[in-house]
Structure 1
Amino acid sequence: MRYGHHRAGASRESASRCRQDDRDRRRLLRRRRGHPLAVGKGAKRPSRARMRGQLLDEAARATLPSAVDVCVCGGGAAGLVAAISAAEAGASTAVLERDFSCGRSILATGGGRCNLTRLDLDARAYNDPAFIDAVCGPLFSTDVLGFFDACGLATSFESEGDTRIYPLSDRASSVREVLLGRARRAGVILACAREVGGIGGDSVLFRELFSDGEHSLRAKAIVLAGRDGFVPAGLDAVPFSPLLCPVACEGLPFDELDGRRVHARVTLLRDGKTVLDEYGEVLFRSYGLSGIVIFNLSRFARRGDTVELDLAPGLDDSSFAKLVSSAGNAAGIVDPVIVDVLGDEKHVSCTVSGLAQTEHAQVRRGGLVTGQFDPATLMVRDRPGLFAAGEVIDIDGPCGGYNLSWAWRSGQIAGTAAAAYAKAGA
């Protein structure tokens, strides 16, 4: 999940926190190993280029055998869990990851806090409820929490009465650390800076980014879990498109409203019919609308749809009018700057012109079509030994822990099943 946001419009903060968590992790590793690049307070920090070179050197030192039981393509959320599950089931396991280190995408989730899962996971919130039900079953969140409990991760609710679950440390880096630690204890080979380019028979073809060399790794079972859009030939797939991002709109003076926030009821209309109706914080941007509720709306919005905002959802129209009449304006109800721009309006509307800041979208829609998988194992039915997990499958859900929950649980299932397949073949 590439960029998650706990607060509306927090993409810059999320990216910054991601970078800080990654620096913290590298500093911890250097201190543990007595590395010469370890720095203390007040010391000059190594340059980004030097850090990049260090990570490439570490990636180059990861040696791969000629063959493994299970090869996991992708070292993000789903890939790490799949690799751990396979290795703990007794399979020799390697991860091929294009990035210079595994699990970096986790650092940006939940605005750098990682909304791990939620207690009230509902299959109906996903784009394919029947498939989610068949794969994850009734103990969806229980299975996810059980896995992380075994990792040694302490968790807590976002707040009293809230069902969203975060690491107790309130840092996504804690989630990444426990996953990497468990993977290493299980004997997983984490081979970073290796870009998967294809599958030939029982071999995964990849390129080393530190040498530009072409190589292959034989595997009895392969788990696809990458975010880079790699889809083997012959499989049915829906083109990838960004989701959970801001929405570009027309029809309001957005330049004058840029940066203002309001708690509103948001209704998405198409041909006069309600497509989505949610309450939450909306952030006005120069190009349109942002915020968690808008990210959820982006899953359904089409060009030409109407977005209606009720700027005072806690008041009925009559009560709103009385307060405005008493005060002479709506500045006692709505942000005075918004009132100055929009007037004493309770209801305003705009027209969707597209999605915005798609390069920072939390997830993507598309990927491998669900109908070609056995839901019990996540193996492709007509490609024995080929499994998939996470975002590479055409599954998406709203904000609030749904997409990470799918990554964790599908990784567990695919990894365990891949190990069983490899051992049976042996």
Structure 2
Amino acid sequence: MIRDAVILGAGAAGLMCAMTAGRRGFSCAVIDHSPVAGRKVRLAGGGKGNVTNRFLSPDWYVCSQAGFPDILLRRCTTDFILDMLATFGIGWEEREYGQIFCTEQAARLVEALTEACRETGSDILLRRTLGDIRHEDGLFTVETSGGSVRAPRLVIATGSPAWPDCGATDAGMRLARQWGHKVIPVRPALVPLLFPESWPLHGLAGVSVPANVSAGGRSFRYPLLFTHKGMSGPGILQASCFWKSGEPLHIDFLPEQPALELMHAPENGKSTVLGLFKKHLPTRLAERLVPETLATRKVAQLAKKDREALALALHDHVVVPTRSEGMGHAEAAAGGVDTRDVNPRTLESRKRPGLYFAGEVLDVTGLLGGYNLHWAWASGKAVGESWKKDA
């Protein structure tokens, strides 16, 4: 079988690439080991596919090469994705933090993309395991369990090793190394964090609280969720993208209520210290954060040093996580193919002409809220738009 391009990976990036290229007259073979296309898309956002975000910006991306995603994000806007949904007859809704979801199961979106690919001449080859891949006489030859496919272009859109239950592997990164590309070591991102046994806030599993979490020079104001061994929730998932082993997290449990102001307010003077902060924090959390020696004292009786120490405990709780919960619980992975050897406009390899990368296989990670999936759309679109008929 000879096609204009072979695309490895039938996820969001691979399908977008095939559809875009197909509409421009290029035939593609999309190869995936999974029994279904778009497996991660089908499960994202609780099955409704958090497909993009209203507040799309380069600030929501992690990449070792600053500014690399910027061009492609400008060329693939939020409105472009909404127009795509409208073309497929799929409704959408905007939720908190600008997150945009399908109003029906995301499987419907995958089916529409797959059908659009087939209508424009693409072959969607599922349940295919990869064998040898070589480049000779200007053609890539991809051996699969169902036969070989040849093409002058090869697109690696295989994703990252995050979420292995969906069939995720590091195959694309291993292939990149085969063609001489450096791979930035991958680590779990958008993942819960585990804390040491000595952490004084253990035992609050199930407690959720709005907070501000800081890690690696970035801060996020989102809810936190205490787990049996640490923390999860949107705030921790965001911070995990910037946290590195051995570094501390700083947590502000009262980001909108300055504790000193609360304690200085005359109307709170007769309240006990614990009683005051139970009004602003979940009871179980307040009981842990307020020292027993201060809990039953009247706020008006607190010495200045006690007020300042308590304010610090509430606004700058410091903990060094022991580790994350790992790739098995990660929604994404930071790291991947080094973007310094990739053209930022076309995503073509600078080392091997005709070789392209799209999606999470690259060292570009979107944060929680639809940004990672949007990068898949944007990068797949860019590759599919970059080819010329005389190439």
1:144-187 Cα deviation digits (max 9, x unpaired): 3333333333222215xx53222133x32232232223223323
Contact 1:254/1:286 (<8 A) preserved: no
Q: d(CA) in 2 for partners of 1:203 and 1:364?
A: 28
Q: d(CA) in 1 for partners of 2:237 and 2:100?
A: 19
Q: d(CA) in 2 for partners of 1:417 and 1:276?
A: 34
User: What SS does structure 2 have at the residue aligned with 1:137?
Assistant: helix
Specify which of 71, 80, 100 is matched with residue 143 of structure 1: 80
Q: d(CA) in 1 for partners of 2:348 and 2:75?
A: 21
- Is 1:306 aligned to 2:248, yes or no? yes
CA separation of 1:93 and 1:148: change in aligned 2, threshold 3 A: same
Contact 1:307/1:351 (<8 A) preserved: yes
Q: d(CA) in 1 for partners of 2:76 and 2:29?
A: 29
The amino acid that maps onto 2:324 is L
Contact 1:152/1:178 (<8 A) preserved: no
- Is 1:72 aligned to 2:7, yes or no? yes
- Is 1:196 aligned to 2:130, yes or no? yes
- Is 1:175 aligned to 2:129, yes or no? no
Partner residue, 2:22: 87
Specify which of 360, 370, 374 is matched with residue 391 of structure 1: 360
Q: d(CA) in 2 for partners of 1:304 and 1:220?
A: 46
Partner residue, 2:309: none
The amino acid that maps onto 1:173 is A
- Is 1:158 aligned to 2:103, yes or no? no
CA separation of 1:284 and 1:119: change in aligned 2, threshold 3 A: same
Partner residue, 2:120: 186
Partner residue, 1:241: 187
User: What SS does structure 2 have at the residue aligned with 1:326?
Assistant: coil
Partner residue, 1:403: 372
Q: d(CA) in 2 for partners of 1:324 and 1:129?
A: 50
1:50-69 to structure 2, matched below 5 A, reads 66-69=1-4
Partner residue, 1:30: none
1:217-232 to structure 2, matched below 5 A, reads 217-227=149-159, 228-229=169-170, 230=172, 231-232=175-176
The amino acid that maps onto 2:194 is A
CA separation of 1:135 and 1:328: change in aligned 2, threshold 3 A: closer
Partner residue, 1:346: 314
Q: d(CA) in 2 for partners of 1:357 and 1:258?
A: 19
1:392-417 Cα deviation digits (max 9, x unpaired): 11111211121111100110111232
Partner residue, 2:278: 331
Identity of aligned residues (%): 28
The amino acid that maps onto 2:149 is L
User: What SS does structure 2 have at the residue aligned with 1:100?
Assistant: coil
CA separation of 1:221 and 1:248: change in aligned 2, threshold 3 A: same
- Measure how far apart 1:82 and its partner are: 0.8
Question: Normalising by the residue count of structure 2, what TM-score does the alignment of the two structures yield?
Answer: 0.80
Contact 1:257/1:341 (<8 A) preserved: no
1:22-41 to structure 2, matched below 5 A, reads none
- Measure how far apart 1:79 and its partner are: 0.7
**When the two structures are aligned, how many residues end up with a matched partner?**
344
1:346-380 Cα deviation digits (max 9, x unpaired): 34332222212431211112222112222222111
The amino acid that maps onto 1:151 is F
Partner residue, 1:291: 233
Contact 1:266/1:279 (<8 A) preserved: yes
Contact 2:17/2:383 (<8 A) preserved: yes
1:222-245 Cα deviation digits (max 9, x unpaired): 111002322231222223222110
Partner residue, 2:298: none
User: What SS does structure 2 have at the residue aligned with 1:87?
Assistant: helix
1:177-215 Cα deviation digits (max 9, x unpaired): 32223223323211111123442012343443xxxx7x4
Q: d(CA) in 1 for partners of 2:93 and 2:269?
A: 42
Partner residue, 2:213: 266
Does 280-289 or 243-252 show the bigger shift? 243-252
Does 92-101 or 228-237 show the bigger shift? 228-237
CA separation of 1:242 and 1:206: change in aligned 2, threshold 3 A: farther
Q: d(CA) in 2 for partners of 1:383 and 1:152?
A: 39
User: What SS does structure 1 have at the residue aligned with 2:225?
Assistant: strand
Contact 2:195/2:323 (<8 A) preserved: yes
CA separation of 1:324 and 1:264: change in aligned 2, threshold 3 A: farther
Contact 1:254/1:285 (<8 A) preserved: no
- Measure how far apart 1:303 and its partner are: 2.7
CA separation of 1:373 and 1:143: change in aligned 2, threshold 3 A: farther
Partner residue, 2:299: none
Q: d(CA) in 1 for partners of 2:240 and 2:8?
A: 29
- Measure how far apart 1:385 and its partner are: 1.5
CA separation of 1:198 and 1:150: change in aligned 2, threshold 3 A: farther
Q: d(CA) in 2 for partners of 1:357 and 1:237?
A: 19
User: What SS does structure 2 have at the residue aligned with 1:131?
Assistant: coil
Unaligned segments of structure 2, at least 5 residues: 160-168, 296-312
The amino acid that maps onto 1:262 is V
Q: d(CA) in 1 for partners of 2:287 and 2:44?
A: 35
Indicate the structure (1 or 2) with the bigger Cα radius of gyration: 2
1:61-86 Cα deviation digits (max 9, x unpaired): xxxxx211111100011011111112
